[in-house]
Amino acid sequence: MTDLARRRFLKTGGAAAAGAGLLGAGLGSGTAAELSPSNPGATTLPYPRNGIAKVAELKVNEPKGFNYPDEDSFCQVLKTGRQVPGGVGPDGDIVAFSTQCTHMGCPLSYDKNARTFKCGCHFSIFDPEMAGQMVDGQATENLPRILLEHDAADGTLYAVAVEGLIYGRQCNLL
């Protein structure tokens, strides 16, 4: 009998504690409609839409640095000179990536001759013309790709989201 009483006590006490926690957090006070987010099926947070460059300013095979989605995240936009997967712009040849290695977060540099991003710490290599695919080295994941939009009216490129997780973060938006 004591076993059953103890089990009932723990179940009742646990349910009461959970209910009190919800009420204390303000989650138990509204209707279901008030509590649901505007898009309950969304799996990503809303990223900022930041202007990063003008298409006319970009030169083929010369990356340009920018920060996205915040000042602590270093990225580069690159005009490859040929249409590539995920490329934007008039020729579909502009892509952008986080420039932190997915292995241990070391900064990447762009090798113009090899047309790849390289990590000087552990020698991982990433191909920007193949959606940031990891080609060689210690890294096990592709580079996080910065999703871009091109405004044809004024030639501005906008960073709008990140595909993949930036090294060292649980969430890309801090």
Active site includes 103?
yes
| Separation between Cα atoms, residue 104 and residue 102, nearest integer Å | 6
Point out the catalytic residue in the list 28, 72, 122, 174.
Answer: 122
Q: What is the CA radius of gyration of the chain?
A: 23
Q: What's phi and psi for 130, nearest 5 deg?
A: -125, 45
Report whether the peptide linkage leading into residue 48 is cis, meaning its omega lies within 30 degrees of zero: no
Active site includes 150?
no
Degrees to nearest 5, angle at CA 52 with 49 and 53: 135
Point out the catalytic residue in the list 80, 88, 97, 103.
Answer: 103
Catalytic residue IDs: 103, 122
